[in-house]
């Protein structure tokens, strides 16, 4: 149901064949109350469901029993109809009784249904009495319909069987026309009806996959159109009878309305439905044309016809065809042509008179648009006069050309293009020109001025373009188009860049110099790049600009000149204080540039006193240093310095360790300054100033002396130097970082030592290991051999007494072994 409704969403009514029986479900019509209740509930359900999909109750039309013709069928219809109406009064009942004598139909049957449909062949066969019975019911308000159910459908005359049924409806006052059945293909195939087993009733040509129209379906459509014309005329007549009974032609139109229906239905062969019969099939078409003329008459202001004067209503309006057309100017007149035809294209005799504007009765020759009126005077009494309008256009051909105000341009530049339209016969073309850029419109159409127009395009993308001008023609001029090819190149960006006139060698480029700007977004690449140090002299700097929009802009460059001046090198020369040693002491200057790199060149030094000779003898000297650069990036330079030569000392001075130094590393030898003409050195180290109980070097000539070990605490050094046979000394003191551990119990030379106390020694910083020997002779380990150990004490259980014992205590520091010897004797028991 729902899909059926959805297939016909715009239908005004939906007809449903119920095929009513004496039972409904398991309820018999004998149980009148229960039967009526069940039918009412069923009807309400479907009405409510239909409402959910947009179908009103009045759109549901039910056929309860098809073609009823017996009392039993009548009673069944009445029972069902009353129950349905009691539940849903708006639902409509449609029935098609086939009693040959309509008076045999019981009044309850006729009264309970909404629409009574008359079978078309019964109307013909039973005659006027049959038809008039139902006509009277229609006049009392009964809705009537006509249905055809003859066949085979396509053997019948589409004019008399299908088309004229609409005229019969108009005559009866019926509101609808039906045919059985559009879908009845007799269980066969419309394209091979020899295979069917019963008569087909469909006017269509049907197959399993398609529906094709036929002459019969066209006849049904034409009948519906005829009915619409009759309805329009009937409504127009009725409206004027109420509003303006004296309207000119109204009485004639009212009389013509009935007469036209009778003329069609009573024309020869109108009731003969056989296609093979010879009959007049033009009556309906002629009357439709006359009805259209009558409607047109009544629609015009009183006393005037919109289609020209006619003798009276009832004459058919011929179809007037005029041929105006468009012609190319050739210097010859171009008259209009016309013809009048009636029903089915039959020629209607008469005469035409043409009036051209401008020109009157003279056909047009020159270019222009010429409206004209063709008036037809009919010489056939069945057809009225007519008038129709037309137009003749005479075209003068034109040619259009396009020109550019300038040659090729760059992106971003405005360009003006002009168009010239020239007419073939020398007339001034009028109208507008549409400019296009690569097929797309440029602004609005431009009105021609003396055949010329122009447009300015603000900017175009780079590349080849087609600029066209389309003249639309009109007013007697032909359309034409002209075009040119125009090339737009990429624009060159504008670079703004100024740099300092002079910079000094050694200045690397940075944002101060590399600050070029452009008039469009993009990036700069500098040559040489940022951070470059240029050589002295005039230098070329180049900024290459790469636009962000590489489609519309070219890469651009700009070069500037920068003067780089030489840098002044740094002259490094140290003033010196020198102890006299009998040798010359020249200065050693250096010239350096950026990043402290050496600068090539030569030095000239002038000493005062002394000239170019370096000083030798004690005294104070000044020096002027002049540098001559051989590097073009640097200029010459100068500097001053002084030299002081002091007399040579007669004593040596200890340089390591310094006086009063602490934690001295004895892995480094003791060192001192040399003395000029020294004969010998002599080093004392003692526990008191001037003592040599710890170190006694004897006479030596070297300026260093390695000490293996020193005791804890401050020691005193006296360094002697002998010059010219005279000994002189300097004193200093220091405390050393011990490298060798020494016994603190027992002390060296101790006797009567108590072995209940372990042998002990002081810890040495950064020690790696200790090793203890005790022997009967110096350096021997026949009595104690501890091996490597990390402790600072060792317990000896027993040792020989009454004799000297020799201890050698090894210490490992920095990977080197050193030792200290001690001797003692133990207590006797």
pLDDT, tens only, 497-512: 887 768 888 888 777 7
* Confidence at residue 308, expressed as pLDDT on a 0 to 100 scale: 45
Q: How confident is the model at residue 393 (pLDDT cuts 50, 70, 90)?
A: confident
What is the C-alpha to C-alpha distance for residues 802 and 86, in angstroms, rounded to an integer? 155
Which H, E and C letters describe 563-604, residue by residue? Answer: EEECECCEEECCCEEEECCCCCCCCCCEEECHHHCECCEEEE
Q: Are 226 and 167 in contact (CB under 8 A)?
A: yes
Segment 401-420 shows an average pLDDT of 85
* Confidence at residue 4, expressed as pLDDT on a 0 to 100 scale: 94
Tokens found for residue 52: 């959910």
* Alpha carbon distances (Å) from 699 to 656, 717, 718, 727, 728: 19, 15, 13, 11, 13
Domains and CATH numbers, the chain: 11-133 (3.40.50), 318-395 (2.60.40.10), 398-489 (2.60.40.10), 495-565 (2.60.40), 570-646 (2.60.40.10), 654-737 (2.60.40.10), 743-826 (2.60.40.10)
Residues 6+ apart with CB under 8 A from 532: 508, 509
Q: Which helix (H) or strand (E) holds 83?
A: helix 71-87
Q: Give me the phi and psi of 227, to 5 degrees please.
A: -60, -40
What is the C-alpha to C-alpha distance for residues 260 and 252, in angstroms, rounded to an integer? 12
* Confidence at residue 614, expressed as pLDDT on a 0 to 100 scale: 94
Determine what percent of the chain is predicted with pLDDT higher than 90. Answer: 57
**Which residues face 392 on adjacent strands?**
325, 370
* Confidence at residue 304, expressed as pLDDT on a 0 to 100 scale: 46
What is the C-alpha to C-alpha distance for residues 737 and 818, in angstroms, rounded to an integer? 14
pLDDT in tens, 747-802: 999 999 999 999 999 998 889 999 999 999 999 999 999 999 999 999 998 899 88
At residue 306, does pLDDT exceed 50? no
Least confident of 184-198, 258-272, 518-532, 671-685: 184-198
By 3-state DSSP, what share of the chain in percent is helix, strand and coil, each rounded to 5?
A: 20, 40, 40
* Confidence at residue 590, expressed as pLDDT on a 0 to 100 scale: 94
Mean pLDDT of the chain: 89
Of residues 419 and 386, more confidence is placed in 419
pLDDT in tens, 686-698: 999 999 999 999 9
At residue 49, does pLDDT exceed 60? yes
* Confidence at residue 427, expressed as pLDDT on a 0 to 100 scale: 67
Least confident of 93-107, 110-124, 297-311, 495-509: 297-311
At residue 305, does pLDDT exceed 60? no
At residue 574, does pLDDT exceed 60? yes
Task: List, as one string, the DSSP characters of 38-77.
Answer: HHHHHHHHHHHHHHHTT--GGGEEEE-SSS--SHHHHHHH
State which of 404-418, 475-489, 609-623 shows the largest mean pLDDT: 609-623
Of residues 317 and 242, more confidence is placed in 242
What is the C-alpha to C-alpha distance for residues 84 and 87, in angstroms, rounded to an integer? 5
* Confidence at residue 658, expressed as pLDDT on a 0 to 100 scale: 95
pLDDT in tens, 537-546: 898 889 999 9
Tokens found for residue 539: 């230098």
Q: Are 823 and 807 in contact (CB under 8 A)?
A: yes
Q: Over the range 625-646, which residues count as b (16 or more CB within 10 Å of their CB) and which as e?
A: bebebebebbbebebebebebe
Determine what percent of the chain is predicted with pLDDT higher than 70. Answer: 97
Least confident of 39-43, 262-266, 521-525, 530-534: 530-534
At residue 663, does pLDDT exceed 90? no
* Confidence at residue 313, expressed as pLDDT on a 0 to 100 scale: 67
* Confidence at residue 383, expressed as pLDDT on a 0 to 100 scale: 77
Of residues 478 and 162, more confidence is placed in 162
Dihedral of the alpha carbons of 244, 248, 253, 255, in degrees to the nearest 10: 90
Q: How confident is the model at residue 36 (pLDDT cuts 50, 70, 90)?
A: very high
Q: Minimal CA–CA distance to 340: which of 306, 279, 382, 385?
A: 385
């Amino acid at each position: 149901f729902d899909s059926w409704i959805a297939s016909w969403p715009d239908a005004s009514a939906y007809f449903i064949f119920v095929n009513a029986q004496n039972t409904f479900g398991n309820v018999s019509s004998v149980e009148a109350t229960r039967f009526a209740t069940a039918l009412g509930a069923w009807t309400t359900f479907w009405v409510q469901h239909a409402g959910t999909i947009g179908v009103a109750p009045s759109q549901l039309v039910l056929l309860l029993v098809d073609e009823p013709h017996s009392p039993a069928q009548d009673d069944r219809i009445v029972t069902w109809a009353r129950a349905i109406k009691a539940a849903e009064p708006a639902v409509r009942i449609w029935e098609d009784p086939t009693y040959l004598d309509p008076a045999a139909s019981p009044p309850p049957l006729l009264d309970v249904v909404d629409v009574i449909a008359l079978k078309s062949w019964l109307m013909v066969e039973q005659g006027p009495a049959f038809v008039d019975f139902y006509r009277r019911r229609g006049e009392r308000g009964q809705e009537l319909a006509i249905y055809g159910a003859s066949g085979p459908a396509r053997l019948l005359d589409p004019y008399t069987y299908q088309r004229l049924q609409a005229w019969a409806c108009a005559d009866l006052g019926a509101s609808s026309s039906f045919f059985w059945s559009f879908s009845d293909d007799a269980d066969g195939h419309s394209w091979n009806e020899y295979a069917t087993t019963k008569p087909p009733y469909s006017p269509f040509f049907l197959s399993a996959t398609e529906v094709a129209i036929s002459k019969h379906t066209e006849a049904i459509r034409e009948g519906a159109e005829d009915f619409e014309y009759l309805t329009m005329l009937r409504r127009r007549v009725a409206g004027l009878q109420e509003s303006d009974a004296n309207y000119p032609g109204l009485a004639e139109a009212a009389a013509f309305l009935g007469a036209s229906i009778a003329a069609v239905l009573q024309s020869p062969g109108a009731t003969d439905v056989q296609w093979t019969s010879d009959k007049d099939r033009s009556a309906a078409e002629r009357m439709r044309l006359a009805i259209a003329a009558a409607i047109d008459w009544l629609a015009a202001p009183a006393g005037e016809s919109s289609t020209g004067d006619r003798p009276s209503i009832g004459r058919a309006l011929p179809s007037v065809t005029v041929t105006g057309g468009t012609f190319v100017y050739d210097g010859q007149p171009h008259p209009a042509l016309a013809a009048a035809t009636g029903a089915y294209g039959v020629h209607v005799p008469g005469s035409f008179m043409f009036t051209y504007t401008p020109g009157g009765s003279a056909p047009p020759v020159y270019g222009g648009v010429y409206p004209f009126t063709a008036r037809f005077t009919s010489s056939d009494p069945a057809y009225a006069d007519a008038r129709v309008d037309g137009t003749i256009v005479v075209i003068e051909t034109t040619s259009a050309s396009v020109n550019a105000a300038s040659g090729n341009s760059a992106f971003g530049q405005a360009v003006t293009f002009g168009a010239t339209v020239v007419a073939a016969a020398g007339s001034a073309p009028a109208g507008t020109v549409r400019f296009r850029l690569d097929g797309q419109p440029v602004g609005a159409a431009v009105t021609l001025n003396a055949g010329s127009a122009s447009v300015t395009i603000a900017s175009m993308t780079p590349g080849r373009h087609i600029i066209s001008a389309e003249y639309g023609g009109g007013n007697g001029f032909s359309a034409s188009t002209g075009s040119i090819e125009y090339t737009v190149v990429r624009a060159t960006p504008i670079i703004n860049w100024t740099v300092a006139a002079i910079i000094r060698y050694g200045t690397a480029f940075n944002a101060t110099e590399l600050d070029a700007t452009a008039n469009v977004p993009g990036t700069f690449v500098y040559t040489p790049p940022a951070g470059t140090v240029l050589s002295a002299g005039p230098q070329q700097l180049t900024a290459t600009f790469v636009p962000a929009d590489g489609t519309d802009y070219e890469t651009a460059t700009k070069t500037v000149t920068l003067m780089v001046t030489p840098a002044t090198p740094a002259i490094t020369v140290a003033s010196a204080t020198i102890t006299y040693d009998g040798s010359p002491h020249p200065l050693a200057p250096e010239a350096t540039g950026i990043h402290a790199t050496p600068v090539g060149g030569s030095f000239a030094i002038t000493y005062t006193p002394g000239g170019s000779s370096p000083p030798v003898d004690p005294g104070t000297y000044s020096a002027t240093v002049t540098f001559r650069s051989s590097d073009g990036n640097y200029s010459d330079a100068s500097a001053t310095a002084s030299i002081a030569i002091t007399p040579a000392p007669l004593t040596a001075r200890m340089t390591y360790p310094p006086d009063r130094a602490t934690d001295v590393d004895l892995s480094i030898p003791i060192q001192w300054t040399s003395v000029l003409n020294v004969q010998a050195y002599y080093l004392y180290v003692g526990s008191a100033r001037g003592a040599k109980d710890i170190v006694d070097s004897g006479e030596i000539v070297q300026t260093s002396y390695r000490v293996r070990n020193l005791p804890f605490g401050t020691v005193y050094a006296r360094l002697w130097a002998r010059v010219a046979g005279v000994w002189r000394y300097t004193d200093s003191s220091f405390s050393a970082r011990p490298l060798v551990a020494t016994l603190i119990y027992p002390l060296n030379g101790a006797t009567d030592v108590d072995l209940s106390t372990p042998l002990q020694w002081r810890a040495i910083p950064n020690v790696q290991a200790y090793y203890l020997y005790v022997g009967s002779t110096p350096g021997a380990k026949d009595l104690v051999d501890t091996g490597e150990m990390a402790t600072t004490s060792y317990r000896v259980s027993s040792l020989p007494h009454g004799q000297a014992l020799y201890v050698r205590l090894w210490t490992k520091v920095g990977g080197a072994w050193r030792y200290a010897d001690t001797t003692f004797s133990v207590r006797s028991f």
